Structure 1
Amino acid sequence: MERIIEEIREDLARRLARAADRLADRTLAEDPAYAAQLGRAELRERIHRSLRQAVEGLVRSSRGLPVELADARAAGTLRAEQGLPLAPLLRTYRSGGRLLWTALTEAVASHDRAALPRLLPGATALWDVVDQMTDAVSEGYRSTEAARTDRDRERRAALLDALLDGAAAPAGPAAAEAAAEAAARLGLPERGRFAVVVLAADGSARPAERPTAAAGDLRVLWRIRAEAETGLVELGHHPLESVRELLAPLGVRAGVSPIVEAPAELARAYRLAALALRTAPESGGPRTALLDEGLPAALVAGQTELAGRLRQVVLGPVLALPVEDRRLLLTTLGTWLACQGSTTFAAQRLYCHRNTVSNRLRRVEQLTGRSLSDPRHLVELALAHAAVVQRIPGPHAPRGRADPK
């Protein structure tokens, strides 16, 4: 193979120059992006160089030497850096391989037609060289694209952090301007309808399963943070309730902030979503808590020291009971509150007679010294019960844990 190429080298060089011209014109017609990035002259020169390198690859291969692939790998890298698709570049390399084979056969036939059979084994070698070059192009492209994707992901994470933490600038006009800039770089509008979602760390769904969009213009930008996984939701025209519908398939506990209208308000929304998460039930019913649907429970969650004191002062005698008695009375109280004070409905949920519910509630009243018919006492009992459900420890509980329910 090396001897054949040496015999036709001058004629082959002329034919490769013409092939480079034809392939450059064809490539520009099929992929105008090349013209914007390189221009015809540079594109033609790169094609011509790759054709010559393929010929040299044939020679090196016949000697048992590796094909030089640095330029092919660099071509893939450049294509990725320019943000252009890979397929047209691979198509150009394969088209170049076909043109090269045509140029080889024509040059051999012109030199000595009887030598054509000697060229046939070179077809396999040529396509092996072309395959190695296209593989190198793909390798350079994909490694560069992966690095760029990582950088883009890191930039997006930093922008989301700036919005959720409100740390881009001190409070005031500068903070609003910095938040608007971060939002713009994330593709978010200056004014809109936004909410923040915080997922409980005990969720079993993998991050790849997180929904990023729903029907219409609702979309979510997710961020895995040290304390919890967080989503910034652009609601568009959707109601806030649609966030609960979006998260329902995940089966994880979640807190959702109220709607805010400007990027500068997202840091506050994040804090409120984290607060809402603390009110989300661990079992039974919807596991996504919208802050505005549970403001009393959120008030308890936001004032843990006072909530712990309230818990102990109001429900201390109940909490001092043996475990089974305590659980029975607290469950009955919580169910009665959830049923809006209906003894009948509470009994249905608890699978017992309504008189049994009444008797348990009277015992709560006796132990706490508070009447469920007194609005002030009822508020105290409801908030204290919320503190128990949230496992906020009383003032005498060991640090870092709550008394068992």
Structure 2
Amino acid sequence: MGTPPDPHIAELADAMLARAEELGGALADVIVTELDFYSSSTVVTKDEVRQTCIANMRFVFESLAGDVQIDASAAERTGKARAAAGVPLPAVMAAYRVGFRFMWERTLEEARRRGDIATDSVLDAMSHILVAQDVFTQAMTSAYRAQLTIQVLDQEEEHSALVEALLFRRITDEQNLWEAADALRMPISGPYVVVAAQVPAIGKLALPEIANRLDVRDIRSAWRLLPDLQVGIVHVRRPEVLGMMIEVFESLASANVGISPQFLDLAATSDALRLARLAVGHSGRRGASRSKVAVFDESPLAYAAVSAPEVMARIGKSVLGSLDELPGEERRILVDTFEAWLDAGGSANETAAKIFCHPNTVRHRLHRIEERTGRSLSRPRDIAELCLAFEIDRRSP
């Protein structure tokens, strides 16, 4: 390509350059007629296709004439423009294949019409066009992918900003909530949940590729990375979605994950985040499996325990404060026994079977709680106060 072509090829290239406008229009007609995307879409106009065809032809035939080296800047502009317009890459590649085949055929027709060009010279010219096709195609696809990467990153930043706006109650009116849902590809009505996952380090994802992992299961979600948490809004469109989510989280998470109760209106996202954060702190505390994933308990006691935190903390301290004077292990045993007793419906025998001790041991521990707190497990009001206090204690950071 560094040596100039023979005079016959230069004349052939000049002849093709003189017809660049005409040939570009004819090629645009072929592309719009033969390729489904260009015939059915208005994303790229026929005039834009025509201008691209003319520019590509000029660069190829100027190079063939020996005036310049192959300049792929036109292909780069095309790749960038088509990516920005949302044209699928296969459609652009198909247009390039049609375009270079058209150039090859028209150049061969012109060579035959002239009749004075040696076969070897024609083959050299065709080889030059094939090289140009390869250079142009690579330049176009590289520019296309670079532009697509920019768009994806911009979109991710926009989505992340919208998620943050929902999480921290910066969007409240209904119209903007609908627009946010639409931009995030989320249905405009719930149920939704908020997920909060502890990050392994600042700037590191707790749940890598989580949006894609859920998307392939037809679960819509949007995520935001905070300094301490990776937080997501997930649409729970079917009852089985929650179980599918937990399975995915368990497979990905290296630390605790909390899931809020379900809610119907995106305006409640901020409140759900607080409950998801509380569920994070409760992950892995109870149960033999010590699951990394915890769903916030929707019981009235659970909601009461996290409402008005300062008031609830005062209540918990007034009821259970005397337990804090005990050694840590002894306090934990009393707390676990009370929770097991509640789960067993107040049966000492069932509690004993559950925590592997004698029923009399259970009764002794419950009596210790009564002594330390001044509440009786035979009085409903006292039991209610203890249940609330223990729930507050269970959900405290």
TM-score normalized with structure 1 length: 0.78
Q: Aligned equivalents of 2:216 and 2:148: distance in 1? A: 28
Contact 2:206/2:229 (CA < 8 Å) preserved in 1? no
The answer to whether the Cα contact below 8 Å between 2:177 and 2:266 also exists between their aligned partners in 1 is yes
Structure 2 gap ranges (5+): 251-255
Secondary structure in 1 aligned to 2:298?
A: helix
Match of 1:199 in 2: 196
1:288-337 C-alpha deviation (Å, 9 max, x unpaired): 324423x3234323344344444443333433233333333232223223
Q: Which residue of 2 aligns with 1:340?
A: 345
* Partner SS, residue 341 of structure 2: helix
Note the 1:158-307 alignment, pairs <5 A: 158-168=161-171, 175-188=173-186, 192-201=189-198, 205-210=206-211, 211-213=213-215, 219-226=220-227, 228-236=229-237, 238-239=238-239, 242-251=241-250, 252-260=256-264, 262-284=265-287, 287-293=293-299, 295-307=300-312
Specify the code of the residue in structure 2 equivalent to 1:2. Answer: P
Corresponding letter in the other structure for 2:193 = V
1:356 is the counterpart of 2:361:
yes
Does 1:371 pair with 2:369? no
Partner of 2:38: 33
| Equivalent-residue separation in structure 2 for 1:375 and 1:248 (angstroms) | 39
Distance 1:349 1:202 in 2: 34
| Partner of residue 150 from structure 2, selected from 147, 152, 173 | 147
Alpha-carbon offset, residue 385 of structure 1: 2.7
The one-letter code of the counterpart of 2:340 is T
CA distance in 2, matches of 1:386, 1:117: 90
Alignment partner, residue 398 of structure 1: none
User: Which SS does the other structure have where 1:2 is aligned?
Assistant: coil
1:12 match: 16
CA contact (8 A) 2:199 2:206 kept: no
What SS does structure 2 have at the residue aligned with 1:222? strand
Return the alpha-carbon distance in structure 1 between the equivalents of residues 163 and 383 of structure 2. Answer: 42
Give the aligned residue type for 1:25: D
Q: 1:265 to 1:363 in 2, by over 3 A?
A: closer
**Matched residue of 1:152: which SS?**
helix
2:51 and 2:312 mapped to 1: Cα distance? 76
Contact conserved, 1:195 with 1:258, CA < 8 A, in 2? yes
Per-residue deviation at 1:199?
A: 1.6
Query: Considering only aligned residues, what root-mean-square deviation do their CA atoms show, in Å?
Result: 3.4
What displacement does 1:53 show? 0.9
Which residue type is aligned with residue 313 of structure 1?
S
Aligned residue for 1:9, secondary structure, equals helix
AA aligned to 2:99 is: G
Residues 74 and 137 in structure 1, CA contact (< 8 A), matched pair in contact too:
yes
Question: Can you give the 5+ residue segments of structure 1 that lack an aligned partner in the other structure?
Answer: 170-174, 393-405
Q: What TM-score, normalized to structure 2? A: 0.80
**In structure 1, distance between residues paired with 2:13 and 2:174:** 68
**Contact 2:195/2:234, CA 8 A, preserved across alignment:** no
| Number of positions where the alignment pairs a residue of Structure 1 with one of Structure 2 | 378
The code of the aligned residue for 2:208 comes to P
Name the CA distance, whole Å, in 2 between partners of 1:373 and 1:253.
38
CA displacement at 1:85 relative to structure 2: 1.2
Cα distance, 1:149 vs. partner?
A: 2.0
- Check whether the contact 1:212–1:221 (CA below 8 A) recurs between aligned residues: no
The residue number in structure 2 matching 1:402 is none
